[in-house]
Amino acid sequence: MIQPIELMPVRREESESPARVALVTLGCAKNLVDSEIMAGLLASGGFVTTATPEEADVAIVNTCAFIGPAQKESIDRILELAALKREGRLRGIVVAGCLAQRFQGEILREIPEVDAVVGTGQVEAIVRVAHRVRRGVVAPLLEVGPAGTAIDLAAHRAVSTPRHVAYLRIADGCDFRCTFCIIPTLRGDLRSRPMESVIEEARRLAAHGTKELLLIAQDSTSYGEDRYGASRLPDLLRSLARIEGIEWIRVHYTHPKTWTEELIQAFEEEPKICRYVDIPLQHVTDRMLRRMRREVRRSDTDRLMETLRRRLPDVAIRTHFIVGFPGETDEDFEEMLRTVRAAAYDHVGCFAYSREEGTPAGRMKEQVPERVKLDRRRRLMAAQREVTASVWGSWVGREVSVRVDGPTGSRGGFVGRVAQQGYEVDGKTMLRPRADAPTLEVGSRVTARIRAVRGYDLDGEVLS
């Protein structure tokens, strides 16, 4: 359910009955925020959002192109919409987002049912494009310019997450040039929002009931370097922590190179900042880190992990690794495997390397066979499952604060999260209410005793 925050007036282009539009969002939370901005712009521009493309005049698919599987998912969804259009059940199709930015010409050439392509830097054009598509354009529209989102369109945004939790984008783009990553091509260089704009949006969210802010960017820890000459994330976090109504602040997508003493102090001193660190490491051997151009050494990340765990008791560390990167030897992988078993990370994701055209890694020799990549991924995740049983098993018997996200839909149960579980990306805490208080308020926090662990999920009995 879309919850409007505050929509700036946009001139209606048609006086006839409201047009119907369906928004299909693929990919990451940053894409979701773009879709929320589009939804707000479209609502104030005369469109009514429908639940499914079959009910719409125009369907807009906001695509992802980060790795091969994401590109395939985006293309498959576009083809499904193309079939609806051929059947006469849909008037027009607009392709937006990262796939549109990367393959604009190919999309229009290979999928003739597509009426318009809108790049990552042209989000504000979506109303004009959608109206033209609805009226029936003679030739396909191409609205693609320099890469990058118009990052400060938050006043138009219509939040689609539950009322108590919302993403807060603080920047877009990235100045790092990791050899495997296509993001700078799709999103451009780092562009930080003005701090005043971020704080004002956070205040609006809090006024509408948001209790948990999820800070997102391509590189959160570099926030402000382009605008202020130095990272201002610590200052931003302290300002957000002063907003009445905000209870939890969670920071996603940090880079191991750009963690600072000031940032660690902010985590230490501000109780509203969740003891939760999202920090993709990608690999552990210096040889592979150099090939990936991560700009850190193994000793740097080891020292950072030790510092975080020493100074932030109960911190949960979420990380990602890439297996099968070009030139990765058996020895490199075995060292990664040993690290995962010994480091006891709380949350681990793993990608089998995806060879992307236009990246330095895509041109590297020593490409690893697909079967080897998949086998390494299987082995790493099997090792992490063993770690998970130990890490989360230690929670059994603890009394903890749990944020209630909603009912489970069966047997009167509820689902929530402890501060060490990220919204929609980590495990959950299943709650069994007390017999004398069978209903829990969504968004509230309750005290629960953890009774059991199932993988990354916790089972808790509500105490108060």
pLDDT digit string (tens) for 174-195?
999 999 998 888 888 999 999 9
Place of tokens 């003739």: 112
Q: 23-60 pLDDT, tens per residue?
A: 888 888 888 888 898 888 888 888 898 888 888 889 99
Confidence of residue 150 (pLDDT cuts 50, 70, 90): low
Residue with tokens 């948001």: 210
* Number of CB atoms found within 10 A of residue 410's CB: 6
Q: How far is 80 from 377, CA to CA, in rounded Å?
A: 30
Of 186, 256, 246, 248, the closest CA to residue 219 belongs to 256
The CATH homologous superfamily for domain 399-462 is: Nucleic acid-binding proteins (2.40.50.140)
Cα–Cα dist 243/222, whole Å: 23
Q: What pLDDT was estimated at residue 13? A: 42
Model confidence at 1: pLDDT above 70: no
CA dihedral sign, ordered 24, 30, 36, 37? negative
Average pLDDT of 237-248? 97
Q: Which CATH class is domain 3-143?
A: alpha beta
| Domain locations in the chain as residue ranges | 3-143, 154-393, 399-462
HSE (CB half, 13 Å, CA atoms) of 178?
Answer: 24
pLDDT at 107 over 90: no
Provide the pLDDT for residue 3.
41
Q: Give me the pLDDT at residue 270, please.
A: 96
pLDDT tens for 336-353 read 999 999 999 999 999 999
261-269 vs 233-241: helix crossing angle, rounded to 10: 10
Q: What is the pLDDT of residues 256-287, one digit of tens each?
A: 999 999 999 999 999 999 999 999 999 999 99
Please state which of the ranges 120-129, 325-334, 442-451 shows the lowest mean pLDDT. Answer: 120-129
What pLDDT is attached to residue 138? 64
What pLDDT was estimated at residue 4? 37
Rounded distance between C-alpha atoms, residue 208 and residue 56, angstroms? 29
pLDDT of residue 305: 95
Specify whether the CB–CB gap between 400 and 450 falls below 8 A. Answer: yes
Q: What does pTM read for this prediction?
A: 0.89
At 89 the pLDDT is 86
Alpha carbon distances (Å) from 246 to 139, 203, 211, 232, 401: 48, 9, 4, 20, 16
Burial of 188 (0-12, 13-18, 19+ CB in 10 A): buried
Amino acid at 226: D
Pairing, β 457-462 against β 445-454: antiparallel
Q: Give the residue-averaged pLDDT of 214-224.
A: 95
| Distance of alpha carbon 411 from alpha carbon 190, whole angstroms | 47
Q: Helix, strand or coil for residue 405?
A: strand
Candidates 262, 10, 310; CA nearest to 156 is 10
Residue 296 has pLDDT above 90, yes or no: yes
Q: Which of 352, 425, 358, 295 is nearest to 98 (CA)?
A: 358
Pick the CATH number of 154-393 from 3.40.50.2020, 3.30.70.20, 3.30.70.120, 3.80.30.20: 3.80.30.20
Roughly how many angstroms between the first and final C-alpha of the chain, as a whole number?
29
Please compute the mean of the pLDDT values over residues 80-104 and round it to a whole number.
88
Question: Are the folds of 3-143 and 399-462 the same?
Answer: no
